[in-house]
């Protein structure tokens, strides 16, 4: 209907960084009915048009320094650059390192000169930080963020310091420096300093002193995926679980539709969606079976809350459980007469394990419909008078980060917190007061106790998405020594 009914309509898609996945997808979707226009195949009619500078010259320095070490060594340089009226940004992969660097620089550079753009910062603080001469940021700024400086005639960012574990991040982040599109001053050089791992530094050492175009530099980085790999992306998820997620509402509608022609239309829509997403999904019938099992597992869990019935439905779930553990495969009908045997479900412990398995499988499927938030761990609400974590005095964050990063006094609960720290609308699982950064962050581990043999456990749980319960949180210092945790925190994941 409407726009696309008219013949001769053309669509123009603009992308500054079309990667191979984009090109492959468009080829699959349109075949020969599209054209890729880039600087490599500029049409003749535009060859003589005037060009507009978009990037100023850039001097790139590569080092293997850690961010905090670099900050200590270059504090005086940062002072000089800021006193010269330059604007800069420091981008780290880690919220912890951003906040530790902020604590390190806030006095020598003075707080009015430094702003933070991180997840915990409120929107007003992020906006205020944009106007500061030096911005410390997490990957929050990697996509869709522009470092605006009002009234500036040259590039908004004169110098940039960044960490980069992935080649994509390195290219993206140094591209933040020297942008001059729409500026009157286009030839003032910028500087960028990239903090890389030793292997990446060694691989790029031969280019020291060379002058490269941005395209040449990008090609070099893309050719060194052994030391600067591509960042993990969602293409694998789209090829596999995304179509399963999309299928579920079609499946539910299919169940509620009595008319054969409407059922066929839904099945045709599913095939069209597979083509649109460029994936080879399972058949409509096979995915229907997958979600039927999801439905019956939930139903069985509800019905077995007060006790397991030794019926065919239980036999089906028991057969799935045995297969998951690496035992022999059984036909549920053959298994049915033996459900109450000692080796199957005679004991309460065995029945508990079966329910746990079925619950894990339900949660694993359910996570498809809440991809970003399928697991929400315990949250800490905390008092932060020195603004170590953000500009907010009272804030909330996931408890893992707080435990690893700060010395915290944990309180008994919300009422205790309000009495000692003041009113707040924030609610969490735990409440506390932050005192200081830890000298060295703790390392957190999740411990799981099971009766399964190690090789069977690895076969069942390693190398794929799983849902698992009965986890215990363990903290260790940099020497591997156990650091005591509040029992409430240590067991906070037991039933999740």
**Domain's final residue, options 369, 397, 413:** 369
| Residue 227 placed within a domain | no
Residue-wise pLDDT for 292-321, tens only, equals 999 999 999 999 999 999 999 999 999 999
Mean pLDDT of 374-378: 72
Stated as kind and residue range, the H or E segment containing 290 is helix 284-303
**pLDDT (0 to 100) of residue 204:** 95
Asked if 344 and 331 count as a contact pair (C-beta separation under 8 A), the reply is no
Report the C-alpha gap between 134 and 345 in whole angstroms: 64
pLDDT score recorded for residue 2: 54
- Is residue 374 one of the residues assigned to a domain? no
pLDDT of the residue at 1? 42
**Has residue 136 been placed in a domain?**
yes
Mean pLDDT (whole number) for 230-244:
72
CA 456 – CA 307 distance, rounded (Å): 28
399 and 310 in a common domain: no
Res. 96 pLDDT band, cuts 50 70 90: very high
- Asked whether residue 167 carries a pLDDT value surpassing 50, the answer given is yes
Q: What is the extent of the structural domain holding 114?
A: 58-222
- What pLDDT sits at residue 370? 66
Asked whether residue 229 is assigned to any structural domain, the reply reads: no
| 374 has pLDDT over 60 | no
CATH of the domain at 140: 3.40.50.300
Secondary element (H or E) of residue 100: helix 95-105
Arithmetic mean of pLDDT, 338-366: 91
Lowest mean pLDDT among 154-168, 247-261, 424-438: 247-261
Residue with tokens 């286009």: 186
In this predicted structure, what is the pLDDT of residue 49?
85
Query: What percent of the chain lies above the pLDDT cut of 70?
Result: 95
- Report how many domains make up the chain: 4
4 pLDDT exceeds 60?
no
Site of tokens 């030391």: 227
- Looking at the structure, do residues 338 and 391 belong to the same domain, yes or no? no
The CA distances from residue 475 to 237, 401, 488, in Å, are 32, 12, 14
Residue at 496 is within a domain? no
> To the nearest whole number, what is the mean pLDDT of the chain?
90
Q: Which alpha helices (DSSP H) does 307-368 contain, by range? A: 312-325, 332-335, 348-366
């Amino acid at each position: 209907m409407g726009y696309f009914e008219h013949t001769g309509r053309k669509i123009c898609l603009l992308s500054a960084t079309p990667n191979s996945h984009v090109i492959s997808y468009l080829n699959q979707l349109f075949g020969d009915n599209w054209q890729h226009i880039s600087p490599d195949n500029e049409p003749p009619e535009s060859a003589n048009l005037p060009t507009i500078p978009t990037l100023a010259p850039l001097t790139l320095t590569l080092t293997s320094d850690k961010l905090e070490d670099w900050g200590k060594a270059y504090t005086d340089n940062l002072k000089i650059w800021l006193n010269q009226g330059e604007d800069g940004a420091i981008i780290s992969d880690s919220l912890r390192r951003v906040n530790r660097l902020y604590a390190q620089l806030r006095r020598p550079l003075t707080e009015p000169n430094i702003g933070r753009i991180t997840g915990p910062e409120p929107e007003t603080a992020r906006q205020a930080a944009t106007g500061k001469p030096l911005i410390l940021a997490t990957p929050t700024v990697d996509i869709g963020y522009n470092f605006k400086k009002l009234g500036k005639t040259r590039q908004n960012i004169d110098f940039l310091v960044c960490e980069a574990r992935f080649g994509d991040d390195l290219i993206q982040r140094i591209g933040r420096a020297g942008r001059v599109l729409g500026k009157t001053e286009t030839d003032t050089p910028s500087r960028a300093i990239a903090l890389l791992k030793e292997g990446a530094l060694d691989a790029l050492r031969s280019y020291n002193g060379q002058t490269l175009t941005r395209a040449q530099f990008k090609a070099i980085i893309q050719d060194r995926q052994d030391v600067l790999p591509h960042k993990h992306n969602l293409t694998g998820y789209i090829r596999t679980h995304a179509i399963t997620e999309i299928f579920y509402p079609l499946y539910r509608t299919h169940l509620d539709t009595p008319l054969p022609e409407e059922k066929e239309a839904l099945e045709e829509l599913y095939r069209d969606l597979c083509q649109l997403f460029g994936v080879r999904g399972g058949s409509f019938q096979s995915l229907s079976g997958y979600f039927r099992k999801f439905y019956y597992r939930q139903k069985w869990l509800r019905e077995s809350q007060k006790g397991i019935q030794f019926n065919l439905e239980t036999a089906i779930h028991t057969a799935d459980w045995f297969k998951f553990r690496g035992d022999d495969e059984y036909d549920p009908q053959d298994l049915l007469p033996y459900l109450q045997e000692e080796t199957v479900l005679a004991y309460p412990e065995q029945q508990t394990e079966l329910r746990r398995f079925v619950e894990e499988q339900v949660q694993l499927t359910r996570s498809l419909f809440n991809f970003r938030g399928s697991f929400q761990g315990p949250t800490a609400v905390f008092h932060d008078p020195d603004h170590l974590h953000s500009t907010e005095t009272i804030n909330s964050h996931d408890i893992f980060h707080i435990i690893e990063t700060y010395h915290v006094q944990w309180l008994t609960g919300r009422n205790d917190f309000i009495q000692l720290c003041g009113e707040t609308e924030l609610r969490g699982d735990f409440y506390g007061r932050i005192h200081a950064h830890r000298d060295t962050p703790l390392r957190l581990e999740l411990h799981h106790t099971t009766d399964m043999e190690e090789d069977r456990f690895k076969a069942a749980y390693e190398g794929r998405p799983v849902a698992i319960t009965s986890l215990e949180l363990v903290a260790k210092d940099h020497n591997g020594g156990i650091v005591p945790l509040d029992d409430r925190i240590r067991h906070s994941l037991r039933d999740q």
